[in-house]
Structure 1
């Protein structure tokens, strides 16, 4: 029996879903990181954020992301605090490659990658480095709750769709923020009354393309806008790849609608570089 396009998409999504132990190596460094930063800079708390917390990570590609709430006064330039965090961690892990990739300090451990995002407590949420420069406000607890609420309301569709657009991002090397894609995917699902995997994959990609990767308002109404890319050069590259993705997803949708699942799967394979 011929596999349906939806079954293929679900199988591919499951294949790229991390198992329960994938982040164990990266997570094992948390205590050492937390202790060093507390001793060197002073911190209030360190907690998981991003795909690790949301449950939308991609096997072999997603990192363990943490936000570190620092004590003291917030400097005018985020590069100051990023440099301080990098210096402290490099002192603790002298043989580990550690780089600054705003908004995070990225630690390339042999058993996993850890991204540490420094932040300062504000009247609500946290102030963290903006990938495009300066500072931005974020509310990770509220963002996680919002994604979980949308996901629950739509039977798991929000996280499934978010994971699919992230698979496309990583497989096609698209220079766009994973957080941005996740929020766009959840926002799309939140506006739908039902979920059809192949159709909604196309519609979500099309909406992102039609928005020209413009910054997205925080759906919780609390924080700064979510930016898609860190430069115009990266935006142009992402838009080009996005246009191709929309075309392939649309063809997959139309072939599925016509009952030609073999042709639909061919387009999905091209979309995900499988």
Structure 2
């Protein structure tokens, strides 16, 4: 009989992207960088996000890049976003290009590529805030933070972050993937051991208990991480995370009492499998 831990391990394996999954999307990087560099100016362009962190989700995650632009940062990030969108739409006339703050998204047939334009700060980068205005981000430091905490728990943090993201995508929860990853990592940073069902339950519960409020950058460097792009999305996410917490609690309790099959039934409901 399949145990709960085996079931969660299989869930992680199934949704872990293969090494080649994003090769098609990544193949556009050079053309994107060349176009932006020629018409706007680019200091550097590098991979960020869940793929870089090793927490990407098969079928759902995009290839994400930060493009550090040359020049003076304009008053409004819309000036920057519209300029980048214009150049990429000209370069790829048969591809749909849209703005999804803080990114400009090229919807290639091989997979979406999200380009987050920004301007270098003394430390980090200024990018468009999904809510309004500018925000300071430190993607290289965030990647190191996730990697360090993950190493502390022998790979468990990225497993747990992937599970929470699977819940987001499978249940269509309008909450930021970056927020989920940082909340999960911060929670595990304070733990000494990893218990799969307990930590899945407590990670969701702690986010629910904070009502998905914005969190301070755990590295102590950047702007606060917001959870949702609007209050309506936060309320929708709160409704769904309440349900998720209840199901995770039932799964944990069933497993503790030896009812593995009932625990798995609750996980199947949680993840909409």
The runs of 4+ residues in structure 1 deviating greater than 6 Å are none
Secondary structure of the corresponding residue to residue 11 of structure 2? helix
Find the aligned partners of 2:157 and 2:243 in 1 and give their Cα distance: 23
TM-score by length of structure 2 reads 0.99
Q: CA shift at 1:188, angstroms?
A: 1.0
Find the aligned partners of 1:51 and 1:250 in 2 and give their Cα distance: 27
The yes-or-no answer on 1:170 pairing with 2:169 is: yes
The yes-or-no answer on 1:105 pairing with 2:104 is: yes
Find the aligned partners of 1:196 and 1:25 in 2 and give their Cα distance: 37
Q: CA shift at 1:112, angstroms?
A: 1.0
Q: CA shift at 1:157, angstroms?
A: 1.0
Unaligned 5+ residue runs, structure 1?
A: none
TM-score by length of structure 1 reads 0.99
Find the aligned partners of 2:213 and 2:23 in 1 and give their Cα distance: 35
Find the aligned partners of 1:139 and 1:7 in 2 and give their Cα distance: 35
Give the length in aligned residue pairs. 273
Q: CA shift at 1:172, angstroms?
A: 0.3
Cα deviations across residues 16-70 of structure 1 (Å, max 9, x unaligned)?
0001101101100000000000011001000000011100000000000000000
1:57-96 equivalence runs, <5 A:
57-96=56-95
The yes-or-no answer on 1:265 pairing with 2:264 is: yes
| Residue equivalent to 1:40 | 39
Secondary structure of the corresponding residue to residue 123 of structure 1? coil
Find the aligned partners of 2:14 and 2:140 in 1 and give their Cα distance: 28
Report the RMSD for the aligned CA atoms in angstroms: 0.5
Find the aligned partners of 1:151 and 1:188 in 2 and give their Cα distance: 12
Secondary structure of the corresponding residue to residue 45 of structure 1? strand
Find the aligned partners of 1:188 and 1:82 in 2 and give their Cα distance: 33
1:97-176 equivalence runs, <5 A:
97-176=96-175
Unaligned 5+ residue runs, structure 2?
A: none
Secondary structure of the corresponding residue to residue 69 of structure 1? strand
Find the aligned partners of 2:17 and 2:217 in 1 and give their Cα distance: 27
